Amino acid sequence: MNSACVYRAYDETGALLYVGCSGRLLARLDQHRGNKPWWSEVRHIDVQQFDSRDDALEAESAAIASESPRYNADLHASAERAWKTRRLAQEVAHKRGVFCNVASCSRCARGRAYEASRAAS
């Protein structure tokens, strides 16, 4: 499985500077060190590990949309749009009684597991 993590970079006052997602955290942070002007403000980084890249990407979009990191500004609008589009698609799928494709949806995960167990028996 393709695990990945979501990381949050904070400045010395605890303000959120940046949220990112990567399967190779250390390489990505090295990259930021080289090309992001805000890197010098970073004092603390929180890392959250996910089992799949989809879950991590979803958590990243949600975090960017809801936590408004200072330096995700360009990405913020598009992440928010993508997030809303996915939420809408999820709502429509649930209303139609089919499984949505949001990786972290526990409701559909339970439904899929149930169908799989019925198919297996």
- Selected binder of Zn ion within 22, 98, 105, 113 (CB under 5 A): 105
Contact 80, 64 (CB under 8 A): yes
Q: Which is nearer to Zn ion, 15 or 92 (CB)?
A: 92
| Burial zone of 88 (CB within 10 Å; 0-12 exposed, 13-18 middle, 19+ buried) | exposed
Closest CA to 97 of 80, 82, 115: 115
Q: Which of residues 51-80 bind Zn ion (CB under 5 A)?
A: none
Q: Which is nearer to Zn ion, 31 or 90 (CB)?
A: 90
Does 82 bind Zn ion (CB under 5 A)? Our answer is no
Closest CA to 75 of 7, 1, 19, 13: 19
Does 108 bind Zn ion (CB under 5 A)? Our answer is yes
Does 42 bind Zn ion (CB under 5 A)? Our answer is no
Sheet bearing 4-10, strands edge to edge: 16-22, 4-10, 44-50
Q: Which of 34-42, 65-73, 81-89, 100-108 is the region at the interface with Zn ion (rule: CB under 5 A)?
A: 100-108
Residues engaged in binding Zn ion (CB under 5 A): 100, 105, 107-108
